Structure 1
């Protein structure tokens, strides 16, 4: 008995796979930026509350994380990093 595999070769199937890849890349980008942000904040000697640390690690917006990373490069306090976001 032959199995119909036409769906797996279809346009719709390709779209589903492409969407999954894009979501995976976005998630990976966000996780990488969160790790980088925590590293920079730690290296600069900035103290974070557990709440703020969780805010960073659960953020899924790579653009927002990028903004925080830019601020963290010159910040001396957590408030300077998250000033407009708290």
Structure 2
């Protein structure tokens, strides 16, 4: 009986792990897509984007922050201005 519980627990753990992995993957995909949207807007406006800005956008996994930067991308004169008022990181 103990063996059956262990097997059931393992199966449940694997299922939970797969579900969490899918959720994490979707969140990562949303963040990556939003970062690409920011770059697209900047390119369309002929705003120069250096490697540091590109890296910061790519490294950000927070969709809310990226959405804020996307809204700023519509009006900034320099790409670095996307991050004005935000903590470094």
Same fold, TM-score > 0.5, yes or no:
yes
Map 1:1-86; keep pairs closer than 5 Å.
10-85=11-86, 86=88
Instruction: Select the structure that is richer in helix.
Output: 2
Which residues of structure 2 form unaligned runs of 5+?
1-6
Using the size of structure 2 for normalisation, the TM-score is 0.75
Which residues of structure 1 form unaligned runs of 5+?
1-5
Using the size of structure 1 for normalisation, the TM-score is 0.77
| SS of residue in 2 equivalent to 1:10 | helix
RMSD of the TM alignment (CA)? 2.3
Distance in 2, Cα, partners of 1:84 & 1:78: 14
The runs of at least 4 consecutive aligned structure 1 residues that moved more than 4 Å come to none
Q: Is the 8 A contact 1:44 1:76 kept in 2?
A: no
Q: Is the 8 A contact 1:33 1:62 kept in 2?
A: yes
Aligned residues, how many? 82
